[in-house]
Chain A
Amino acid sequence: MIDAVYGWLDDRLNISGSGRKLVNKIFPDHWSFMLGEIALYSFVILLATGVFLSLYFIPSSKQIVYTGSYVPLRGLHVSEAYASTIALSFNVRAGLLMRQMHHWSANIFLGAIVVHMCRVFFTSGFRRPRELNWIIGVNLLILAIFNGFLGYSLPDDLISGTGIRISFSILESIPFVGSYLATFLFGGQFPGSAIIPRFFIIHVLILPAIIAGLLGAHLALIVRNKHTQFRGRGATEKNVVGAPLWPTFFAKTNGFLFLVAAVTAILGAAVQINPIWLYGPYVPYHVSYAVQPDWYMGWLDGALRIMPSWEIHLPGHMVPNAFFPAILLPGVTFTLLMAWPFVEQRITGDRLEHHLLERPRDRPHHTALGAATLSFYFVLFGASATDVLANYLSVSLNFVLWFFRIAIFVVPLVIYPMTLKICRELQHTPGGGKTKRHNIVLRSPEGGYSTVVSQARPGDEPPVLEPVPLDGPELVGAMATGADRRSSGPLGAAATGQGGGVAGASRARGVFRIPRSYR
C-alpha cells in the first residue's frame, strides 16, 4: 500500500530525485547548533498553544462588569479581553497550562534567538555567503520582539496596559509622522477603542505569517548554503562533516523538539507566569509599582529610564525625549546588526566564502567588540530595575540612576580590553578547548609560570575517524547496514558477500526501503 502511494506520487513529483539529496544532507554536530533549533521549536509550540488560546480569547476592549468565577474581581469593570483571559485560565480545562506554556515559550523563543545570534556572531558564521541569512535572522528577532510585546499586551491587565500607554507615547515621539502613526494605529488619541482587536489580528495573523515566511527562508538558505562547521574531524571549506538528515539527524532533532516541549510544559506547570488576576484590569488612571515589561523589552525600558531629560526644540516643532532611547537606539541597534557583515568586510577586506567557523579566541578584536556591545545592552537591561535595586539595596534612586548612566559608558570600555586579554591568553593555552586533558601550571625556581598539557593516556582521545562521503552513489547504501558493534558485526560482511562490493549493501535490510517496483 505504501509502496503504491509512494510510486504514484513519485511518478508525478519525482520525490526520489530531490528526496535522495535531502536524506543525505549532512548536519554538523555541535551543541551550539542546537540554539537555533530551540528557537524553531519554541515557535512550533507557540503556534500550537496560540491556536488553542485564540479559540477562547475575546479580542475586545468593551467594558463589562466581571461576574466570573474569580471572586476577588467580581463587580469590577473590566474589558472583555481581560475577562476572557481569566476565564480561559480558570474555567477552560488545561487552559491555564496552555496560557502559561504560551508565555513561557515566547520567552524561550526570544532567549534562544538572542543566544543563537550571539553564537553566529562570535563564531563568525555570518560571513559570505551567509550575510543574507544573518539579515533575515535580525529581522526575525525584531518581529519576535514586536509580537512578544503585542501578545503580552492582549490580556489588557494593569501592567500591560501601562506598557501600551508607553508604546503610544513612543510612536507619538517619531518626528514628522509620529502623531499620525499613533492615531492611525490606535484609532484615535490614547486609549482609542480599536487597539485590542488590532493588536490581536497583528499578533495572531500578520506577524506570525511573516515570521513563518522568514523562518522558511532562513531554513531554505541553510539548506542552500549548507551548514557551517567547526574545524576538526576532517572538516574543510569544501565539505560538510556530520550526520545525515535521515535517520540520524531526524531522530535527534525531533527528539529535541519534544525536549523543548517538555521543558515548556514543566515550566507551564510549575512556574507561574503573568498572573493577570493579581495585577487587576487596566484602568488608565491607575498604576502599579515596579512596572517591568517582559525581559526582552528590558533594555528599552532601561534606556528610557537613564536617558537625561533632554528634548530638541525647533521653531514650531520638537523631538520628544522618548524618541532617543525608544526609537533611535533600537533603530541604530538593528541597522548596525544588519550592516555588520558588510562593515566587517570593509574593515578586514575579507570577501571570500567561509564555511569553517572560527573559535571566538582566534578573532580577539571581533570577540572583544561583540562582548563590549553585549555588555552595553546588559547594562541597559540592569537599568530597567533602577527602582527595584534602590529598594532592595536601600540606596537612593539618584545613586542607582547615576551609577547606570556612568556604567553604560564605562562597562563596555572595560569589557573590551578584558575580553581581548582573555582571548589572547586562551590562544596561548596549549591544546585548550580541544581536549579534556589537564593543563599543568609549572612554576620555575625564578618565579616564572608556564603551562604544559599532561600526557595523553590510552583511551583519552578516541581515534579520529575519517568522514565517509555520502554523495558518491556507491556508499549511500552502506548506511543501511548500520551494524551493531559486537552483537551483529557480521551483518555488514554478509551484505558485502551477497552483493559484491559496497553497492550490494543497499539491498540489505535498510533504514530506507526501496519500493519493490524500483528494484
Chain B
Amino acid sequence: MSDLHGQGGRAGAAPLAPGIETVGPDAPQFQVAAAHPRGMERRVALLFIVGLLGFAGFGAAYWQNSTNYFLGLSLGVGFLGLGAGMVAWGKYLMPRGPFSESRHPLGPSVEEKEKFVEDFASRGKVALQRRGFLVKLLSLASAVFGIVAAFPLLRSLGPLPKKLFYTTAWRRGSYLTTAYGRRVHVDDIDVGGVLTVFPGDDIGGALSQTLLIRVGQPGENVVTEPSRANWGPDGYLAFSKVCTHAGCPVGLYQRLTQQLLCPCHQSLFDIGPGRPAVPVFGPAPRPLPQLPLRVDSRGYLRARAGYDEPVGPGFWERGGTT
C-alpha cells in the first residue's frame, strides 16, 4: 500500500538499473496492436452482441423447453461471441508489449538459510532432544492411533475375502434355473443351443452365472477329460460364464467351431468331447471351470456338486495350476 502511495507521489524518472534504457510512454510497446483500433473496436462489439444474442437465445430455448440441439447451440454461440470478443480485445486493443519482469533467485540466501536452521534447530534441541523419552512415547501413542483408525476406515468397508472367492451358490443338487426362474428340463435345448443358468437361490448371480451348452444328442455322455467321466449327461455341458481373464461374461458360443468367445478381450475356449474349455486364443490363462451335471428322475438338469475350483479371474491366494 505504501508502495503504491509512494509511486503516485514520486515525480520524475528515478534511475533505472544500468543497461536498461528508459522507454517513454509513447513508445510503440505501449500502443495497441491493432493497426485500426476503431475497426477492431467495432468487431469486438459485434462479437459481444453475437454473444448476447446467443445467451438470449439460450434463455428462449430453455423457456420453450426446446431440444438439446437448440439449447446447446445457442449456449455455444453465446460463449463463442463472448470469448472471441475478449480474446480479440486482449490481443489487439491493449498495449502490444512485449513487457518483461526479471527473475529472482528461487532458493534462499546463505544467510536466510543459516538463520532459519539456527532458530529451528536450537529451539528443537531445547524442546525435544532433552526429552527423548516423551518424544518416543508420543510417537508410540500416535502410531497406535494410526493403526486403530485404519480399522473402522478400512475394515468396515467390506468382508474379508477368504471364502467369498472360493465358493459360488452352486450346491450338490441345485436345479439349473433360467434367469426367469424356470427349471431347465432335459428336452429344453436342441443340439447347438445355449442357455445361461443359475442355481435356484441365486438367480441373476454375477458369480454363479453358468453357460449350459448342448453339444450332443440325448443319451450321449460327453466327457471333456477322463476325470470328469459323468459330468456331461445327455449331450449337455455346463461351464462357468465368468471369464478367467478379467471376469466378463463369456457370452458367445460359436456352434460350428464349438468355441466360446469372450467379447471383452477375445479369448476363445474350446468346448466339447475332450475339450474342457481350454483357452486357445487371447489373454485368458486358464480353462473355464466345469459344473458337473446330472439328469434327475423327472428329467430336470441338476448340479452333481458345486464348482471344484474358484470361478473367474485369478487372485494372489489362489495358487496352484488348477
Q: Which of A16, A169, A315, A495 contacts B312 (CB 8 A)?
A: A169
Interface bracket on B? 35 or more
Residue interface bits A470-503, CB-to-B below 8 A is 1, else 0: 1111111111011111110100110110011111
Residue interface bits B258-292, CB-to-A below 8 A is 1, else 0: 00000111110000000000010111111000000
B164 contacts A479, C-beta separation under 8 Å: no
Q: Which residue of B has the minimal Cβ distance to A496?
A: B25
Stretch at the interface among A243-251, A344-352, A364-372: A243-251
Whether a CB of chain A sits under 8 angstroms from the CB of B221 is no
Whether a CB of chain A sits under 8 angstroms from the CB of B316 is yes
The distance from the CB of B55 to the nearest CB of chain A, in whole angstroms, is 11
Q: Given A26-B100, A317-B316, A477-B7, A129–B28 Cβ distance below 8 Å?
A: no
Q: Which of B68, B90, B157, B241 contacts A285 (CB 8 A)?
A: B241
- List 10 A–B pairs whose Cβ atoms lie within 8 Å, in order of A's numbering: A166-B246, A180-B161, A182-B161, A242-B100, A270-B69, A317-B318, A322-B314, A401-B266, A467-B29, A473-B7
Q: Given A474-B14, A483-B26, A261–B79 Cβ distance below 8 Å?
A: yes
Q: Which residue of B has the minimal Cβ distance to A190?
A: B206
Whether a CB of chain A sits under 8 angstroms from the CB of B10 is yes
Stretch at the interface among B33-41, B130-138, B224-232: B33-41
A237 contacts B97, C-beta separation under 8 Å: no
A475 contacts B23, C-beta separation under 8 Å: yes
* B contact residues around A16 at 8 Å (CB): 1, 3-4
B8 contacts A285, C-beta separation under 8 Å: no
B68 contacts A96, C-beta separation under 8 Å: yes
Q: How far is the CA of A387 from the CA of B245 in the complex (A)?
A: 17
Q: CB within 8 Å of B: which of A222-278?
A: 224-226, 233-234, 237-244, 247-252, 254-266, 268-270
Q: Known A-B contacts: A473-B3, A492-B30. Give 14 more (CB < 8 A).
A: A16-B1, A17-B3, A178-B315, A179-B317, A194-B157, A237-B103, A239-B102, A247-B90, A254-B86, A265-B79, A270-B69, A289-B252, A289-B263, A301-B265
Whether a CB of chain B sits under 8 angstroms from the CB of A192 is yes
* B contact residues around A100 at 8 Å (CB): 68, 72
The distance from the CB of A465 to the nearest CB of chain B, in whole angstroms, is 6
B100 contacts A240, C-beta separation under 8 Å: yes
Q: Given A239-B102, A468-B29, A259–B83 Cβ distance below 8 Å?
A: yes
B161 contacts A500, C-beta separation under 8 Å: no
Whether a CB of chain A sits under 8 angstroms from the CB of B128 is no
* B contact residues around A518 at 8 Å (CB): 1, 4-5, 8
Whether a CB of chain A sits under 8 angstroms from the CB of B306 is no
Q: How far is the CA of A20 from the CA of B1 in the complex (A)?
A: 9
Q: Given A287-B251, A472-B16, A484-B37, A250–B319 Cβ distance below 8 Å?
A: no
Q: Which of A29, A177, A191 contacts B206 (CB 8 A)?
A: A191
Whether a CB of chain A sits under 8 angstroms from the CB of B109 is no
* A contact residues around B25 at 8 Å (CB): 478, 481, 483, 492, 495-496, 502, 505
Q: Which residue of A has the minimal Cβ distance to B247?
A: A169
A250 contacts B263, C-beta separation under 8 Å: no
* B contact residues around A467 at 8 Å (CB): 29, 97-100
A474 contacts B86, C-beta separation under 8 Å: no
Interface bracket on A? 35 or more
The distance from the CB of A383 to the nearest CB of chain B, in whole angstroms, is 10
B4 contacts A514, C-beta separation under 8 Å: yes
B283 contacts A305, C-beta separation under 8 Å: yes
A470 contacts B100, C-beta separation under 8 Å: yes
Q: Which of B179, B209, B263, B281 has the most CB of A within 10 A?
A: B263
Whether a CB of chain A sits under 8 angstroms from the CB of B256 is no
The distance from the CB of B96 to the nearest CB of chain A, in whole angstroms, is 8
Q: How far is the CA of A81 from the CA of B158 in the complex (A)?
A: 21
Q: Which residue of B has the minimal Cβ distance to A319?
A: B316
Q: CB within 8 Å of A: which of B308-322?
A: 312-321
* B contact residues around A285 at 8 Å (CB): 179, 196, 204, 206, 209, 241, 249, 251
* B contact residues around A489 at 8 Å (CB): 26, 31
